[in-house]
Amino acid sequence: MLRLACAVLCSFALSGASHFATLDGHRVHYQSYGQGREAVVFIHGWTCDLTFWSGQAPVYEKRRSLLVDLPGHGQSDKPDIPYTMELFARAVEAAMRDAGVDRATLVGHSMGTPVALTFLRLYPEKTAGLVVVDALIPLPPKDDAEREKVDAMLTARAKAFRAPDYQVPMRQLLDSMFTAQTAASLRDQIRSKMLSTPQHVAASAMEGMVAMMEQYRQGFRYPGPALVVLAKRPNRSGPTYEAYLRTLFPNLRSYQEWEGAGHFLMMEQPERFNAALLDFLKR
């Protein structure tokens, strides 16, 4: 595991051709690999950037792929605007349009999954497949009391990122994403990059994810091919959760729960993740 983590760290700076699409007058940075009208599009998570996919180079360097810095992240512009899931989805589409890509298999880590789900709602004809990478798709609340409890918790979390000491709860949240198996050097790299995201971006994007909860509750169904890869957790794993996801994704090709993996499982275990992704893409 240490060897794999070191390999990810050594390649943290990617070497693909950089481009900038334009959305609402702001630049959206992305990297492009290969040629063709259909691509695999990698979408990073909250306060991350496209370098978090560096361990997937064996996949995207051999096929048509795009890696996107969502607005406010990485090398994309960071204006003080609302960072909604709709904005992020539109940014992905802008990068695809700029790159000449008509359809995409969307690979979304964490917040990248609600971005992908919003994309397929806005642009169903441009979605070829979906890969969910350790993202929270919540089970429906059992009753109004549970709904109110969840809403209060999420609202408080979002509010905390507007406070002057926002990096305190942010560090606590980041620490909960690691396991004992996560290499210390990888933890440091992840913390450094995520904590460098401007506060207005981090806070607004968190609010955007909270707003997504209502869309989850209204229900959605994606009939296209899907892959789900999760770190095994007591509150989000097991046959009940898998059965629920299969109602949302009736063409779920593979559902995987990984023991001992942290939130950044594609970085901690890149070879295993790449094998799962390649198997899905081949089918």
Query: Where in the sequence is the domain holding 86, given as residue range(s)?
Result: 2-282
Ranges under pLDDT 70 in the chain: 1-16, 235, 237
**Which pTM does this prediction carry?**
0.93
Q: How do residues 11-45 score in pLDDT, each as one tens digit?
A: 344 446 899 999 999 999 999 999 999 999 999 99
Within a 10 A sphere around the Cβ of 230, how many other Cβ atoms?
23
Q: Mapping DSSP to helix (H, G, I), strand (E, B) and coil, where does residue 128 land?
A: strand
| Residue 178: strand, helix, or coil | coil
Q: Are 266 and 59 in contact (CB under 8 A)?
A: no
Domain count, the chain: 1
Q: What is the distance between the alpha carbons of residues 80 and 37, in angstroms, rounded to a whole number?
A: 33
Is residue 69 within 8 Å of 76, Cβ to Cβ? yes
Residue 231 · residue 136 · CB < 8 Å: no
- Helices 2-10 and 270-282: angle between axes, nearest 10 degrees: 80
Q: Which two tokens stand for residue 71?
A: 């607005």
Here the CATH number for the domain that contains residue 242 is: 3.40.50.1820
pLDDT score, position 200: 98
Q: On the CB side of 282, how many CA atoms lie within 13 Å of its CA? A: 8
Q: Looking at residue 16, what is its pLDDT? A: 67
pLDDT of residue 233: 83
